[in-house]
Amino acid sequence: MEIYKEVDLYQQRLNEYRPFEGDLLQQIKAYYRVSLIWSSNALEGNTLTMSETKVLLEEGLTASGKPLVYSNEAVGHAKSYDYMFSLLRGHKISEEDVLTLHKLLFSKTDEVNAGVYRNKSVIITGSKYPVVAAPKIQFEIDKLFNWINNERASYHPIEFAAQLHKRFVFIHPFIDGNGRIARLLMNTSLIQDGYMLAVIPPILRNEYIALLEKAHIEDMEFNQFIAQRVIETQKDIMRLLNIPLVDM
């Protein structure tokens, strides 16, 4: 697919300036910490602005006039983001990692359901497709991790990341937070394979949801959408580090 070739051209250029270690890695991690947490929460209806999210995460100040739960969601998401980067050096994603990400995400908003699969049915507003029935969640999760462990190498890393997002969110194993965990898992796989994060800005929410819905039948456009988000992050990093952009 042509877009994967484009991703890899940018990746090749970035690799010439690697390794990103020490202070530089921490700066990259910090730079995207705010934007990824803000954008991912905003996709789910959290109304904190990026500036309010930045002040909250860096100075601990909550936004005046906004529900406290929005601030707590951002703080929990920051814990999950930091955990994601603790998985950077490996090439493995486990079920325990998923449960830990979710437990951290909801550590300040829903301790009862944090890190626990749902035991009731849910309906996804706006989707015509059902999610996995509660009694079958563990079976589908086991299938997912069998696929992760045995098939990952057969995919381009960007395609694998998009597929991981799609397959997880279609299972919808938690009562809440499935989209945010799916995006964290997607980005975990990307950074493990040396790629940049895929950040989905709220302005693309309708396109993102529409392509994810379409992916029940045909997922090429969803895969391309995720690839384009990686390209945008690659371009951002190259601009920040004064690396000449690739001539396409």
Task: State the catalytic residues.
Answer: 172
Only one residue has tokens 């991981």, namely 164
Cis before 67 (ω within 30): no
Nearest one of 48, 49, 43, 45 to 207, comparing CA atoms: 43
| Cα–Cα distance for residue pair 8/123, rounded to 1 Å | 38
Only one residue has tokens 């989905």, namely 200
| Cα–Cα distance for residue pair 77/180, rounded to 1 Å | 8
Nearest one of 150, 68, 149, 146 to 109, comparing CA atoms: 68
Residue 206 makes CB contacts below 8 A (sequence gap 6+) with none
Angstrom distances, CA of residue 110 to CA of 76, 107, 116, 149: 10, 6, 11, 30
Angstrom distances, CA of residue 208 to CA of 76, 199, 221, 228, 229: 23, 11, 10, 12, 11
| Cα–Cα distance for residue pair 209/216, rounded to 1 Å | 12
Nearest one of 3, 40, 80 to 205, comparing CA atoms: 40
